[in-house]
Amino acid sequence: MSTAPPDADELRRRVEEFLAGHDPAALDPLEFLRARFDAGLAWVHYPEGLGGLGAPRALQPAVDAAFARAGAPGNQPERNGIGLGMAAPTILAAGTDEQRARFLRPLWTGEEIWCQLFSEPGAGSDLAALGTRAVRDGDAWIVNGQKVWTSMAHEARWALLVTRTDPDVPKHRGMTYFICDMTAPGVEVRPLRQITGEAEFNEVFLTDVRIPDAHRLGAVGDGWRVSTTTLMNERVAIGGAAVPREGGMIGVVARLWRDRPELRTPGLHDALLRLWVEAEAARLTGVRLRQALAAGEPGPEGSAAKLAFARLNQEISGLELEMLGDEGLRHDDWTMRRPAEVDFTRRSPGYRYLRAKGNSIEGGTSEILRNIIAERVLGLPGEIRVDKDVAWKDLPK
């Protein structure tokens, strides 16, 4: 007989019992996080044994808040956003029981960082045009190719990798999805210097990299479907993250307005009010989106959230520089650092303005997201695709 999933009261009781037996001040942080995962209090909507209890997803914020009040250590989501926001739901949806058991726990605890080997120099917005080849060799695959714009590849232990396994079929078929060991022979990570002066992302070269078939996610040739799961979750992770009222970038600029009255002008006041209202509307839309996710996998709504996030981040960071004038043009560090996380709120206004330019590219360009919204949300006619039924090998390169 199946057991009903725990409700809010039952989860509260379980958190209290867990904290009574696991003092955050006395335990090693990693030991605490492992125990929390094993108790099903990591991501409560996941199945039992995989960090969850099969509870409604909407109850997660209350669980997180209870642990935060107790002074419990966090799992540094800012450092492993790709793992938590993209790899975990993909492994849950497409992985085998063995893959889920092997990868989800150290992913959630932050022991293993993840990156995403999707885009290529000739296949950025059009992911299905990718050419990195994987060839079967017994119980393994030999992979050769190049990936680019790979955030945190220099920190990652594992990567989500999409390859071309059959060039004789149209591009959306013949793709296969793998988990790639970033420490394997033949994996080379090179930094890419960004407009901020830093190198938080990279290009990755794969030369005769051997990947066991046991690290394949989904069926051979089913990589596009698995990739879509990753991309939909990616857009929700970027654009639909939970933030408090006046959190994120709008909070930074609102505090500047309150703390620096000498910067105020009527025109800037009107601009701030408009962006504040838009940011609050986007935040509330994100709340509704996360509630809808409790009923299933993310859909095209995540594209709208990510599109709004990118535009708002760029406009708000631009307003901050406009308020500060010459002072805002200073950037605190032009050295090619290799950051372990992307942090908007604790950096300089110059950094925020420059880094926000990437928001309309990463996680799907704004142009592609508008196409998704037009076709899948508004039901408008799709663009003409002359390559839809053409074998990948016959496409212009």
Shared-domain flag, residues 307 and 236: yes
CA 189/CA 156 separation, integer angstroms: 10
Q: Tell me if 1 is assigned to some domain.
A: no
> 59: domain CATH number?
1.10.540.10
Q: Report the candidate in 169, 177, 175, 130 with the shortest Cα–Cα distance to residue 149.
A: 130
**What are the tokens at 136?**
């079967």
pLDDT for 183-235, tens place per residue?
Answer: 999 999 999 988 888 888 899 999 999 999 999 999 999 999 999 889 877 76
Task: Tell me the average pLDDT across 74-94.
Answer: 92
**Exposed e or buried b per residue across 24-33, where buried means at least 16 C-beta atoms within 10 angstroms of its C-beta:** eeeeeeeebb
Shared-domain flag, residues 132 and 162: yes
Shared-domain flag, residues 255 and 366: yes
Residue 145 has pLDDT above 70, yes or no: yes
- Among 55, 79, 109, residue at a domain's last position: 109
Helix, coil or strand: residue 289: helix
pLDDT at 97: 97
Q: What is the mean pLDDT of the chain?
A: 90
CA atoms within 13 A on the CB side of 304: 17
Residue 1 has pLDDT above 50, yes or no: no
Shared-domain flag, residues 104 and 136: no
- Among 89, 109, 129, residue at a domain's last position: 109
**What are the tokens at 189?**
């990570």
Decide: 227 and 123 in contact? Cβ < 8 Å. no
User: Is 116 exposed, middle or buried (CB count within 10 Å of its CB: 0-12, 13-18, 19+)?
Assistant: buried
Q: Tell me if 271 is assigned to some domain.
A: yes
Q: Tell me if 393 is assigned to some domain.
A: no
Residue 179 has pLDDT above 60, yes or no: yes
Shared-domain flag, residues 269 and 373: yes
Decide: 104 and 91 in contact? Cβ < 8 Å. yes
- Supply the residues annotated as catalytic: 234
Task: Tell me the average pLDDT across 362-385.
Answer: 84
Residue 377 has pLDDT above 90, yes or no: no
Residue 294 has pLDDT above 60, yes or no: no
Range of the structural domain that residue 15 is part of: 8-109
CA 70/CA 34 separation, integer angstroms: 17
Shared-domain flag, residues 75 and 99: yes
Q: Tell me if 387 is assigned to some domain.
A: no
Band of pLDDT at residue 278, cut at 50, 70 and 90: very high
Q: Tell me if 392 is assigned to some domain.
A: no
Residue 295 has pLDDT above 80, yes or no: no
- Among 221, 242, 265, residue at a domain's last position: 221
CA 51/CA 41 separation, integer angstroms: 6
pLDDT for 101-134, tens place per residue?
Answer: 999 999 999 999 999 999 999 887 788 999 999 9
> 147: domain CATH number?
2.40.110.10
> 351: domain CATH number?
1.20.140.10
Task: Tell me the average pLDDT across 64-75.
Answer: 95
Decide: 278 and 314 in contact? Cβ < 8 Å. no
How remote is the C-alpha of 218 from its chain's centroid? 20
Shared-domain flag, residues 207 and 261: no
CA 300/CA 373 separation, integer angstroms: 7
Shared-domain flag, residues 41 and 103: yes
pLDDT for 16-30, tens place per residue?
Answer: 999 999 999 999 999
Shared-domain flag, residues 198 and 309: no
Report DSSP letters for 62-131, one per residue.
Answer: HHHHHHHHTTPPP--TTTSHHIIIIIHHHHHHH--HHHHHHHHHHHHHTSS-EEEE--BTTBSS-GGG--
User: What percent of the chain clears pLDDT 70, i.e. is strictly above it?
Assistant: 93
Shared-domain flag, residues 104 and 118: no
CA 63/CA 43 separation, integer angstroms: 9
Overall domain count for the chain: 3
Band of pLDDT at residue 296, cut at 50, 70 and 90: low
Q: Tell me if 199 is assigned to some domain.
A: yes
Return the higher-pLDDT residue of 9 and 247. Answer: 9
Shared-domain flag, residues 233 and 370: yes
Q: Tell me if 384 is assigned to some domain.
A: no
Shared-domain flag, residues 152 and 276: no
pLDDT for 327-369, tens place per residue?
Answer: 888 776 666 777 777 777 778 898 899 999 988 888 778 888 8
Q: SS3 string of 257-281?
A: HHHCHHHCCHHHHHHHHHHHHHHHH
Q: Tell me if 383 is assigned to some domain.
A: no
Decide: 18 and 36 in contact? Cβ < 8 Å. yes
| pTM for the whole structure | 0.87
pLDDT at 168: 97
Task: Tell me the average pLDDT across 126-152.
Answer: 95
pLDDT at 286: 78
